[in-house]
């Protein structure tokens, strides 16, 4: 059997094929827990350099691939990367995350935003995705990603990460028309960006609505869900076969409400039992997740037990094994290696228990 002609495991899981073991990758699998990443960061201290110089971004994206051969290779970038292309200048500060010096708070600022021309404002994306595809061939799946409208609007309006989201919630609950216009403009730009990533070689796309879990269910249905739908509907019109994954952090109270988003796969975090998530989402919805990233600070025995437990609960169809959220800074690399090795032997290990 020639490996070269095989469809990678992650795409087979996304199609709903029955598999011997689930594909496995990790969010934030390229990053600070890896020594190789910390070394390259000394040479390129600015995040924008690391993610926007193609050779550097390619090398960083491939560091976990070379070390652990995950079934998914995600490009090294950030959710705020496309914002300058819309007219929202940003930087990513060490230890703090995205900073937007002139937060979007007025009608005039929303009116001045322009549409995204990814080929012009994001010239580094194409060489990055093309190289990743040629490097991993059919042995793994290249993932692209974007931030969702609500989450990008949260950065644009707050100007930085927030614990309370008071500015954007203030806008939502006093001046919703401006916010709806901002969300809709972002949705159009994000859809364009997803299609561009697919055209450049991304085989699956994950949309991070990281801060939508900060909304109560009613407000999720007003400010997050309709714009997730706007993005996914537009992408499916031209790229119906590319699997779309949706992540909301802290989604335990929202799972059923995420299903009408149009996503093919829903990322489940560790605050929900995987068997329960399966029941709540229904048998047709595919899932990704859901180990607590903190487990990777535990013993090998604990890591193995939780992997097998998750796989048993998710079943052998329509499941991508992952953490519920990104791998944490300080995670021992040896435990990440053990996680991948064990996950890849899951079929034999499950047969023996």
Positions 129 through 168 that interact with ligand CP3 (CB under 6 A): 145, 161
Stretch that binds ligand CP3, among 73-81, 129-137, 183-191, 279-287 (CB under 6 A): 73-81
- Measured distance CA(74)–CA(93) in Å, rounded: 21
Residues 6+ apart with CB under 8 A from 114: 86, 87
Residues 6+ apart with CB under 8 A from 291: 270, 306, 307, 310, 322, 323, 324
Residues 6+ apart with CB under 8 A from 331: 33, 293, 296, 297
Instruction: Please say if 278 is a catalytic residue.
Output: no
Asked if 293 is part of the footprint of ligand CP3 (rule: CB under 6 A), the reply reads no
Question: Are 21 and 351 spatial neighbours (Cβ–Cβ below 8 Å)?
Answer: no
CB 252, min distance to ligand CP3, A:
15
Binding-site member from 22, 31, 226, 262 for ligand CP3 (CB under 6 A)? 31
- What sections of 113-272 are H helices per DSSP? 118-121, 125-136, 149-158, 166-174, 176-200, 217-219, 225-238, 255-258
Instruction: Please say if 78 is a catalytic residue.
Output: yes
Instruction: Please say if 41 is a catalytic residue.
Output: yes
Instruction: Please say if 273 is a catalytic residue.
Output: no
**Count of residues touching ligand CP3 (by CB under 6 A):** 23
Asked if 215 is part of the footprint of ligand CP3 (rule: CB under 6 A), the reply reads no
Stretch that binds ligand CP3, among 27-35, 231-239, 263-271, 273-281 (CB under 6 A): 27-35
Q: Which residue is catalytic, options 50, 71, 78, 227?
A: 78
Angle (CA) 6-12-18 rounded to 5° is 115
Binding-site member from 57, 58, 74, 83 for ligand CP3 (CB under 6 A)? 74
Radius of gyration of the chain (CA): 19
- Measured distance CA(181)–CA(186) in Å, rounded: 9
Positions 81 through 100 that interact with ligand CP3 (CB under 6 A): 92, 94-98
User: Which residues does the annotation place in the binding site for substrate?
Assistant: 28-32, 78, 155, 210, 325
Question: Can you give the binding site for ligand CP3, defined by CB under 6 A?
Answer: 27-32, 47, 74, 76, 78-79, 92, 94-98, 145, 161, 208, 210, 249, 326
């Amino acid at each position: 059997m020639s490996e070269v002609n095989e469809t990678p495991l992650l795409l087979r899981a996304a199609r709903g094929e029955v598999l011997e073991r689930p594909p496995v990758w990790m969010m934030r699998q390229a990053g600070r827990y890896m020594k190789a990443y910390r070394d390259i960061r000394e040479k390129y201290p600015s995040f924008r350099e690391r993610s926007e110089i193609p050779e550097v971004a390619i090398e960083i994206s491939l560091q976990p691939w070379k070390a652990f051969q995950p079934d998914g290779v995600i490009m090294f970038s950030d959710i705020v990367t496309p914002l300058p292309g819309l007219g929202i200048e940003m930087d990513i500060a060490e230890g703090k995350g995205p900073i937007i010096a002139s937060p979007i708070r007025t009608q005039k600022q929303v009116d001045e935003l322009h549409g995204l021309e990814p080929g012009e404002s994001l010239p580094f994306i194409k060489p990055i995705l093309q190289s990743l595809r040629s490097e991993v061939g059919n042995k793994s799946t290249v993932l692209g990603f974007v931030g969702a409208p609500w989450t990008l609007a949260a950065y644009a309006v707050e100007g930085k990460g927030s614990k309370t989201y008071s500015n954007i919630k203030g806008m939502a609950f006093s001046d919703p028309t401006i916010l709806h216009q901002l969300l809709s403009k972002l949705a159009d730009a994000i859809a364009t960006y997803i299609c561009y990533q697919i055209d450049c070689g991304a085989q699956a796309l994950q949309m991070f609505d990281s801060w939508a879990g900060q909304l109560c269910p009613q407000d999720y249905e007003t400010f997050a869900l309709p714009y997730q739908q706007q993005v996914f509907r537009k992408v499916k019109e031209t790229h119906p076969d590319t699997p779309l994954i949706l992540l909301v952090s802290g989604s335990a109270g929202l799972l059923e409400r995420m299903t009408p988003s149009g996503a093919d796969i829903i990322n489940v975090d560790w605050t929900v039992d995987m068997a329960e998530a399966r029941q709540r989402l229904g048998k047709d919805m595919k899932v990704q997740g859901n180990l607590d990233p903190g487990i990777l600070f535990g013993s090998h025995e604990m890591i193995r037990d939780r992997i097998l437990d998750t796989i048993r609960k998710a079943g052998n169809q329509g499941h991508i094994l992952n953490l519920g959220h990104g791998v944490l800074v300080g995670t021992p690399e040896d435990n990440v290696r053990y996680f991948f090795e064990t996950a890849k032997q899951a079929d034999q290990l499950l047969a023996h228990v």
